[in-house]
Amino acid sequence: MKHGLAPEQIVGWQGVSLRVPPDWSVTGFQGDAKEGYLRVDSPGSLVAEVRWAQAKKAVDVRKRLDAYLNLVERQAKKRKVPFTGRIKPSEDWQGALEFNYRADRKVRGFIRQCPQCRRVVIAQVSGDKDDAVVNVANLLLDTLQDHSEDGWWTWALLGLVVRLPERFALVKSQVMSGYLMLQFRNRYTEVTVERWGLADVTLKKWTLAEWAQQVAGWKRTRAQHTEGEVKMHPSVWSVGVRRAPTVWLRRKVERWILRRPEELRGAVWHCEPGNRIYAVRVERGTEQLLEQIVASVQCH
Ligand SMILES: [Zn+2]
Ligand SMILES: [Zn+2]
């Protein structure tokens, strides 16, 4: 194995996860838990891609793979690139099919339907003609998981790793070089996870408590902030209620009739080794949920 190809970094999205080398990064994602796509790029020309689709019944994976490869072949023909491909049953997975094709890139992958969650997954690694596509594909695709065993999904990209109960759907995401934000919802409970880079620069200007109050979603709230610890890092734990006069009546009604907790809880911490600030905020959810999510974050 070439140095640096060890699949040490976890990438997780919509219940699908795989391990990739540390210097690879997520460059694209689409769709949701029902149907979606994830792309992870190496610093060179190797690319890992995973497509998934939920299915209620058993599907004919051969048919789906044929349709997929036909599409690839048609696209290659349009560009006047010769296409060769081959399909064979997988030795590792019963019912799965392995495929290799070569058009303008070399590709190795597989299709399978999980007997437990019934997701249909097409996963592949592609590269230029000099890339060790088969070796890398075998290494990475072997780590692919299409569901979680414990009901918690791992969401992991660009070094951020956090776990949430699978009933939480991703509703918003923002991926920038110095800022990452994922927002999830399950019924009325909302969870926001944020990460900022260059913590040393930020913390020259603000204290962590000021950062927590001003930036990490605690504006316009009536809240109490207490200093504490998260993973041995300095942190600020907050609890409060949103100050929003226009929705005051609606919230009161919600609280009385639906008995929804309306508190906001959060933790902000400074991970020195990673030079980052993390924030997790739970709106209308329990303290236990916040603690579990905070504990699941792998910050350095
Ligand atoms: Zn599965
Ligand atoms: Zn840390």
Reported as a single tens digit per residue, the pLDDT across 272-295 is: 999 999 999 999 899 999 999 999
Reported as a single tens digit per residue, the pLDDT across 26-72 is: 999 999 999 999 999 999 999 999 999 999 999 999 999 999 999 99
128 and 23, same domain (yes or no): yes
Tell me how far the alpha carbon of residue 113 lies from the centroid of ligand 1, in angstroms: 8
275 and 181, same domain (yes or no): yes
Tell me if 150 is assigned to some domain.
no
User: Which of 101-110, 148-157, 199-208, 212-221 has the weakest average pLDDT?
Assistant: 212-221
19 and 118, same domain (yes or no): yes
Q: What is the mean pLDDT of residues 88-116?
A: 90
Mention every residue, 6+ apart, whose C-beta is less than 8 A from residue 240: 218, 221, 222, 223, 224, 263, 264
Tell me how far the alpha carbon of residue 55 lies from the centroid of ligand 2, in angstroms: 39
How many domains is the chain built from? 2
- pLDDT computed for residue 234 by the predictor: 94
34 and 135, same domain (yes or no): yes
CATH of residue 228: 3.40.1000
278 and 187, same domain (yes or no): yes
Q: How far is CA 16 from CA 2, 53, 141, 192, in A?
A: 26, 11, 12, 20
Task: Provide the pLDDT confidence category of residue 152 given band limits of 50, 70 and 90.
Answer: very high
Tell me how far the alpha carbon of residue 54 lies from the centroid of ligand 1, in angstroms: 10
Task: Provide the pLDDT confidence category of residue 259 given band limits of 50, 70 and 90.
Answer: low
- pLDDT computed for residue 240 by the predictor: 87
Tell me how far the alpha carbon of residue 235 lies from the centroid of ligand 2, in angstroms: 11
Tell me if 137 is assigned to some domain.
yes
* Burial call 198-212: b when 16+ CB within 10 Å, e when fewer: ebeebbeeeebbebb
Indicate if the pLDDT at residue 297 is higher than 70.
yes
Tell me if 152 is assigned to some domain.
no
CB 284 within 8 A of CB 261: yes
CB 180 within 8 A of CB 162: no
pTM confidence score: 0.87
